[in-house]
Amino acid sequence: MAEVTFGGSAEEVSLEEVGLRYEVDGKIATITLDRPEKRNAQTFATWSALARIGDSLPQQVRVVVIRGEGPSFSAGIDLRMFTPEGVPGQGSFAASALLDGATFEQRLARAQQGFLWLRRPDIVSVAAVQGHAIGAGFQLALACDLRVLADDAKLCMKEPALGLVPDLTGTKPLVDLVGLSRAIEICLTARTVGAEEAARIGLAELVVAPGELGQAVEDLTAALLAVDRDAATATKRLLQGASGRTLEEQCVAEGREQAVRLRALFT
Ligand code: CAA
């Protein structure tokens, strides 16, 4: 298994400093939130590092697993952001509030890049969630294609309770998965959704005992890798586009993808 590190430019900190581990083992990349003593709290540097990983993901990688070390997947944004001092070197919400609109949007867009690449059609991303996934933690799990939960998982969109909105790409996948009414109820009460409910309402593909989480993700990964890559990529692309197309448009899109597959397989 290759340990991958970033040399980084002056303004970029190492993955270790950010509290991330990143390992590539053939077709599988594993990203571990690795600040268990702070329940894997995230900062802007976390999201920037995730974006860098996405930018440089080796071409052979087909499955990306995101997991958290320790009892929690992630307790969300580092609460120091709410203090006047903020997170050293990364500012505070009070400082962000003073940014002009364009600068704020640019900074947020970079943070969101850390989440958006997980939807790329040529990979499948899997979140392995145990314990708390709060705020940015819940949104990171939502950024993945699939979620495997330990039965102690607790999902919470805490942002509205803190006077904020979820802005790390989580609102659309949440609505897509559970529907508008349930998404409103979950977010605007900021309540905790347990693993059993999460599976029932479409937020998890699988719920297992905490000790079986690693094996369950390995089994899922093996099944995903058993399918032809180009067919998987084309199928994911079709499925991702389905909700934005009419049935007739989707039929045309299916035909286009299949024509490419047939030529690749039989000519
Ligand atoms: N940021 C920074 N430190 C955190 C943290 C966070 N989000 N969550 C936990 N920690 C730290 C605690 O301060 C504590 O540190 P010390 O040992 O130095 O005191 C350590 O992690 C362990 O925490 P707990 O003792 O609280 O652990 P627990 O297992 O009893 O509880 C928890 C876990 C329920 C997740 C609880 O820590 C908690 O509620 N954390 C805060 C969750 C939160 O409100 N997150 C922000 C969500 S909003 C968001 O993410 C997006 C946004 O844009 C606002």
How do residues 139-185 score in pLDDT, each as one tens digit? 999 999 999 999 999 999 999 999 999 999 999 999 999 999 999 99
Rounded to 10 degrees, the C-alpha dihedral 133/139/140/142 comes to 100
Position 5 scores a pLDDT of: 38
Atom of ligand 1 nearest to the CA of 72: 35
Helix (H) or strand (E) holding 193, with range, is: strand 192-194
Q: What is the pLDDT of residue 104?
A: 95
Kindly indicate whether the ipTM for this predicted assembly is greater than 0.95, answering yes or no: yes
Write down the residue that tokens 């006047």 correspond to.
Answer: 84
Residue pLDDT, tens place only, 112-151: 999 999 999 999 999 999 999 999 999 999 999 999 999 9
41 Cα to the center of ligand 1, angstroms = 7
pLDDT averages per 10-residue partition of the chain, 267 residues: 40 84 98 98 97 98 98 98 94 94 96 98 98 98 98 98 98 98 98 98 98 98 98 98 98 98 97
Residue 23 pairs in a beta bridge with 3, 30
CA distance 241 to 243: 6
**CA-to-CA distance for 90 and 215, rounded, in angstroms?**
36
| Residue the block writes with tokens 């993808």 | 257
Pocket of ligand 1 (CB under 6 A): 38-39, 41, 71-72, 75-79, 132, 134-136, 158-159, 162, 164
Global pTM? 0.96
Task: Determine which residue's CA is closest to atom 1 belonging to ligand 1.
Answer: 78
64 CB-near residues (< 8 Å, 6+ apart): 28, 29, 30, 31, 57, 118, 123, 124, 125, 126, 144
- How much is the pLDDT for 13? 76
The best mutation among 18, 33, 37, 39 to test binding of ligand 1, ranked by most ligand atoms within 8 Å of the C-beta, falls on: 39
In sign, the C-alpha dihedral spanning 67, 73, 75, 76 is positive
The predicted structure's pLDDT at residue 12? 62
Atom number in ligand 1 closest to CA 77: 50
pLDDT at residue 2 in the model? 45
